[in-house]
């Protein structure tokens, strides 16, 4: 099995070498020539994965070490029976910790108290939900907005209109796909 892995995938060669021959290529240099005899492609968002890149190759699986998939032509991949997987939620806790640190810095710098602030969160998926849990644990009032989730789920958390969240929040954080 041949695996082509973008160089920006941390420890990619070590992780995939147990599965087969792993070739590490700089993200911006990955091209069809690298993939003609490859079975698997592992990338990050710098590589556009579409018909131009994969047509005529035997790649049957594309993995992205990112939460987003805007760099993957999912329709083309599905039509051509190429499985695709993204690492949704992989950085949720790290982002939530970063937001927590930023909030702590803000209140220290401005002489405020977290319990007196309202945090608006736009996008309440893996990352936004993790941010909400930490903010609530810190005693903040949290307002949530996520129209796609509201439409897709039968029983989503209390989600509010964007205008309401923006009007009521002292701090707003965005966690939406590109």
Residue 177 predicted with pLDDT over 80? no
Predicted local confidence at residue 155, as pLDDT: 81
Higher pLDDT, 157 or 152: 152
Q: Angle, to 10 degrees, between the axis of helix 126-137 and the axis of helix 92-110?
A: 40
Residue 178 predicted with pLDDT over 70? no
Predicted local confidence at residue 129, as pLDDT: 96
Reading across the β-sheet that carries 141-145, which strands appear in turn? 141-145, 118-122, 171-174
Task: List pLDDT tens digits, range 88-132.
Answer: 888 899 999 999 999 999 999 999 999 999 999 999 999 999 999
Q: What are phi and psi of 99, to 5 degrees?
A: -60, -40
Return d(Cα 54, Cα 59) in angstroms, integer: 7
Give the whole-number percent of the chain exceeding pLDDT 90. Answer: 89
Which pTM does this prediction carry?
Answer: 0.76
Look at residues 92, 154, 80 and name the one whose alpha carbon lies nearest to residue 123: 92
Residue 68 predicted with pLDDT over 90? no
Measured from the Cβ of residue 47, the count of other Cβ atoms closer than 10 Å reads: 24
Return d(Cα 44, Cα 107) in angstroms, integer: 35
pLDDT band at 79 (very low <50, low <70, confident <90, very high): very high
């Amino acid at each position: 099995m041949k695996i082509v892995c973008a160089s920006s995938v941390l420890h990619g060669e070590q992780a995939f070498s147990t599965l087969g021959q792993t070739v590490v290529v700089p993200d911006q240099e990955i091209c069809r020539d690298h993939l003609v005899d490859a079975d698997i492609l592992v990338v990050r968002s710098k590589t556009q994965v579409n018909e131009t890149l994969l047509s005529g190759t035997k790649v049957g699986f594309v993995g992205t070490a990112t939460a987003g998939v805007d760099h993957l032509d999912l329709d083309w991949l599905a039509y051509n029976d190429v499985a695709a997987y993204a690492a949704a939620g992989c950085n949720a806790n790290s982002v939530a910790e970063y937001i927590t640190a930023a909030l702590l810095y803000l209140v220290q710098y401005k002489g405020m108290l977290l319990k007196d602030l309202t945090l608006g969160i736009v996008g309440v998926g893996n990352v936004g939900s993790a941010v909400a849990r930490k903010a609530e644990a810190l005693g903040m009032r949290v307002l949530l907005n996520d129209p796609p989730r509201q439409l897709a789920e039968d029983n989503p958390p209390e989600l509010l209109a964007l205008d309401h969240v923006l009007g009521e929040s002292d701090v707003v954080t965005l966690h939406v796909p590109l």
